[in-house]
Chains A and B, each alone.
Chain A
């Protein structure tokens, strides 16, 4: 069973990963975006982990719902409402239980990914964060390591794609050949999840 501490660990690992990779995310966002993905996400996740321990929520659902709200209000770019919706909808799907099973979490995260797709009007293959989120969540029932690997592959698979959503879509064919920064940061979430679950770091 997964308790609130597991989700605090996940968010802390995600914040650390975003902080560590912020420059790379911004670099990926330079040719096809507005070169702020790393700094925007760093600002958002810094706010998420800045919640004082005594005020930290104590159910999985509340941990994720609060984190989602914080991302929506602090990121400033499109990744704020998108990641905010992902976490908030996942949190709401988990309800108020003090502990949730891994299957329940996988199902809730699926609801979160579906909400992201609905909000952005994007689908698999549009060269967005969904290209990492969807394979990640598909693999989650197998294992955290499998989800991490699937999300990472999904992010790499955006390189030959032409963007059909977001600012990069204005570039048309010039978006081909660049790894999508959103899919890359989404893969970090699965990497952080595997870390929170105690999986050894992958390649």
Chain B
């Protein structure tokens, strides 16, 4: 990164590896491609549907550049697993935060904001704002 800004890392936790990977690609493409660290953590470690706390923790450490890690999760166990990891205290990078946001829209908003150099607060706000974008 030429501007020297430490980007906020983004982790996308879905029940499905395919969903997490696809949403990561979508968000990165819409953000202008590959300017910030984004990692999918979908499915269980053996490739099934579900959540793996090990995959989530590994993804969070992979995208951590010291500016914080914003985590988005889709449903039930994905949300609960991230919350439990955060409560654990030492499993995730110090500045890790679960965003209260819709998964796809929130991921796009978060990645765009992070790619533009926004800090963790700005990334969280942008992702959460995606809830207010009504479709009808």
Contact = CB atoms under 8 A, between A and B. Distances in A.
A141 interface: no
Most chain A C-beta atoms within 10 Å of own C-beta, residue among B53, B80, B81: B80
Contact of B77 (A73, A76, A85, A115): A76
A73 B52 contact: yes
A72 B54 CA distance: 9
Most chain B C-beta atoms within 10 Å of own C-beta, residue among A80, A82, A120: A80
Contact of A119 (B44, B51, B52, B84): B84
Given A78-B77, A80-B77, A166-B76, A85 B51 contact: no
Interface of B: 44, 48-54, 76-77, 80-81, 83-85, 87-88
Q: Nearest 5 A-B pairs (CB), nearest first?
A: A76-B50, A81-B84, A78-B77, A81-B80, A76-B44
A20 interface: no
B52 A85 contact: no
A24 interface: no
A181 B50 CA distance: 17
Interface string A58-92: 00000000000100110011111110110010000
A174 interface: no
Interface of A: 34, 36, 40, 69, 72-73, 76-82, 84-85, 88, 115, 119-120, 166-167
B54 A73 contact: yes
B87 A85 contact: yes
A77 B80 CA distance: 9
A79 B81 CA distance: 9
A77 B53 contact: no
Contacts of A81: 53, 77, 80-81, 83-84
B77 A88 contact: no
Given A73-B53, A77-B77, 5 more contacts: A34-B49, A76-B44, A80-B77, A115-B87, A119-B80
A84 B48 contact: no
Nearest to A40: B50
Given A78-B80, A80-B53, A166-B76, A72 B85 contact: yes
23 contacts: A40-B50, A72-B53, A72-B81, A72-B84, A72-B88, A76-B44, A76-B48, A77-B50, A79-B77, A80-B51, A80-B77, A80-B81, A81-B53, A81-B77, A81-B80, A81-B81, A81-B83, A81-B84, A84-B84, A88-B88, A119-B87, A166-B76, A167-B76
A72 B56 CA distance: 12
Contacts of A84: 84
A73 B85 CA distance: 9
Nearest to A79: B77
A119 B76 contact: no
B73 to A, nearest CB: 11
Contacts of A78: 76-77, 80
A78 B50 CA distance: 8
Contacts of B77: 76-81
Given A76-B52, A80-B53, A85 B76 contact: no
A85 B91 CA distance: 14
